């Protein structure tokens, strides 16, 4: 069974808010501290403070750190994590978060990722926030992390680089491809540390996924806000079994329009805008309309509650004179997000009952670092994922054999193998 943590970022997210939410949901603080003590740095402490925000009970993660005149590079932090002897999933998740930060900071300051100097996010309290959150997820047994659309503020914020627009440039870059929206609040709702946690840990963004909810918690931000409770929520639950599909399909809507007078650039921008606004999927197809006119059909899948908003967005971006909506059902088959290593670097893989899909961004990043082709990295990651799966199947079979060997049933004489789809002849 896959255990999912879904972060509800209705008031944004920061590193201490994510950590506080996990502690509020039941992560044992002493276990988190024990993992953090493995970092070869001192001068920090962490406490959990029970508080209220907007009438909702929450936990605030209070991280205190001695001021240090140390500006850490990405390579420095990677070395700290490698030396710390953390659980593999905590180490790889933490590395992934800092890798995302290094890539974005490198683009913004025109430096290679290894030469990036972290300022706020390289400070000791930010390291504790990031590694502490990854440790708390491990304590909670989280296999897959997801998040809602992410709220951001407006105006300007102060940083080590001076005054910056809100949301900060790093936040915008880190959340590229994720659904975000602005709120008229002149407060930094989403910080670079919070955005990096989402970018490095989340397998997807959108409404709360189908799960059997087991627990939830709220992490409190430092400030009180007049317009909303300054909180990040985490909801934790178990997804359906790997090979099960829901008995009844999920009701969704299909929005479509035909366009014969819009440029390719506008169509491409429209698809990107729809995905950023929360569409479940969006695509185009070449069609022929009346009088033999070439045209493009834009199709959008969305939750029923998002239909009017996405319909209006499609009309606004394309200027179409008509849109049709069909109510349909879909059966999203369960999948899990696992992680394998290629050349010592973590790569995420999505696994369903019949297929393993390697995350392209991870494969491209490892290809750049290792000098291998993307195709080669993908092949190695798929092979590693299959080996891990076979080990898990073998372990389950041995557990079943142990349970039945003392009874009347004979233990299995042959371990089950992974089912593989057959390819048609010809």
Asked if the structure places residue 292 within a domain, the reply is: yes
Position 248 scores a pLDDT of 56
Mean pLDDT of 242-256: 68
The CB-based long-range contact list for 246-249 (8 Å cut-off, 24+ gap) reads 246/210, 246/331, 246/332, 248/329, 249/329, 249/330, 249/331
Asked if the structure places residue 421 within a domain, the reply is: no
Lowest mean pLDDT among 113-117, 317-321, 344-348, 369-373: 113-117
Position 245 scores a pLDDT of 46
Asked if the structure places residue 128 within a domain, the reply is: yes
Cis upstream peptide for 159 (omega within 30°) = no
Cα–Cα dist 62/258, whole Å: 54
How many domains does the chain contain in total? 3
Mean pLDDT of 335-353: 85
From its phi and psi, is residue 335 left (phi > 0), alpha (psi between -120 and 50) or beta? beta
Same domain as 295, residue 195: no
pLDDT tens per residue, range 174-230: 998 899 999 999 999 999 999 999 999 998 899 998 889 999 999 999 999 988 999
Same domain as 383, residue 265: no
Same domain as 233, residue 145: yes
pLDDT tens per residue, range 67-108: 666 667 777 888 889 888 899 999 999 999 988 888 887 787
- Beta-carbon contacts of 69 under 8 Å, excluding residues fewer than 6 positions away, are none
Same domain as 263, residue 217: no
Asked if the structure places residue 422 within a domain, the reply is: no
Among the candidates 330, 361, 395, a domain finishes at 330
Cite the DSSP H helix spans in 340-373. Answer: 360-370
Please give the angle made by the CA atoms of 187, 189 and 191, to the nearest 5 degrees. Answer: 110
Position 79 scores a pLDDT of 87
Asked if the structure places residue 412 within a domain, the reply is: no
Same domain as 129, residue 154: yes
Position 278 scores a pLDDT of 87
Position 392 scores a pLDDT of 62
Among the candidates 238, 270, 285, a domain finishes at 238
Domain that holds residue 272: 250-330
pLDDT tens per residue, range 268-324: 999 999 998 889 999 999 999 988 899 999 999 998 878 888 999 999 999 999 999
pLDDT tens per residue, range 270-282: 999 999 888 999 9
Same domain as 254, residue 377: no
Q: Is the pLDDT at 388 greater than 80, yes or no?
A: no
Same domain as 223, residue 362: no
pLDDT tens per residue, range 2-61: 899 999 999 999 999 999 999 999 999 999 999 999 999 888 999 999 999 999 999 999
Question: Are 145 and 201 contacting, i.e. CB atoms less than 8 angstroms apart?
Answer: yes
């Amino acid at each position: 069974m896959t255990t999912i943590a879904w972060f509800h970022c209705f008031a944004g997210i920061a590193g201490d808010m994510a950590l506080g939410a996990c502690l509020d949901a039941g992560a044992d603080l002493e276990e988190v501290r024990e993992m953090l003590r493995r970092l070869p740095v001192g001068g920090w402490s962490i406490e959990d403070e029970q508080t209220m925000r907007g009438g909702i009970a929450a936990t605030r993660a209070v991280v205190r750190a001695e001021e240090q005149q140390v500006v850490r590079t990405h390579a420095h932090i990677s070395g700290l994590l490698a030396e710390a002897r953390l659980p593999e999933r905590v180490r790889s998740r933490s590395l992934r978060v800092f890798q995302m930060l290094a890539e974005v900071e490198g683009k913004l300051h025109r430096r290679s990722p290894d030469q990036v100097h972290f300022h706020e996010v390289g400070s000791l309290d930010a390291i504790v926030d990031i590694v502490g959150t990854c440790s708390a997820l491990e304590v909670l047994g989280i296999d897959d992390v997801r998040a809602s659309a992410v709220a951001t503020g407006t105006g300007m914020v102060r940083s080590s680089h001076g005054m910056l627009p809100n949301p900060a440039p790093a936040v915008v870059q880190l959340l590229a491809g994720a659904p975000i929206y602005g709120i008229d609040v002149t407060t930094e709702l989403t910080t670079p540390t919070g955005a990096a946690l989402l970018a490095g840990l989340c397998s997807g963004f959108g409404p709360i996924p189908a799960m059997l909810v087991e627990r939830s918690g709220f992490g409190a931000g430092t400030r009180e806000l007049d317009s909303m409770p300054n909180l990040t929520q985490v909801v934790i639950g178990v997804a359906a079994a790997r090979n099960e599909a829901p008995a009844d399909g999920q009701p969704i809507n299909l929005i479509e329009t035909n366009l014969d007078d819009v440029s390719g650039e506008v169509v491409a921008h429209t698809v990107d805008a729809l995905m950023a606004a929360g569409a479940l999927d969006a695509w185009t197809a070449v069609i022929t309309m009346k009088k033999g006119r070439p045209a493009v059909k834009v199709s959008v899948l969305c939750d029923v509650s998002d239909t009017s908003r996405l319909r209006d967005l499609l009309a606004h971006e394309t200027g179409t004179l008509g849109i049709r909506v069909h109510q349909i059902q879909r059966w999203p088959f369960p999948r899990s997000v696992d992680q394998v290593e290629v050349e010592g670097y973590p790569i995420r893989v999505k696994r369903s009952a019949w297929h393993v899909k390697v995350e392209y961004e991870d494969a491209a990043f490892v290809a750049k670092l290792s000098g291998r082709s993307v195709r080669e990295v993908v092949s190695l990651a798929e092979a590693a994922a299959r080996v891990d799966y076979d080990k898990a199947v073998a372990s389950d079979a041995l557990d079943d054999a142990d349970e039945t060997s003392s009874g009347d049933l004979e233990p299995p004489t042959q371990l089950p193998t992974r089912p593989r789809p057959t390819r048609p002849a010809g």
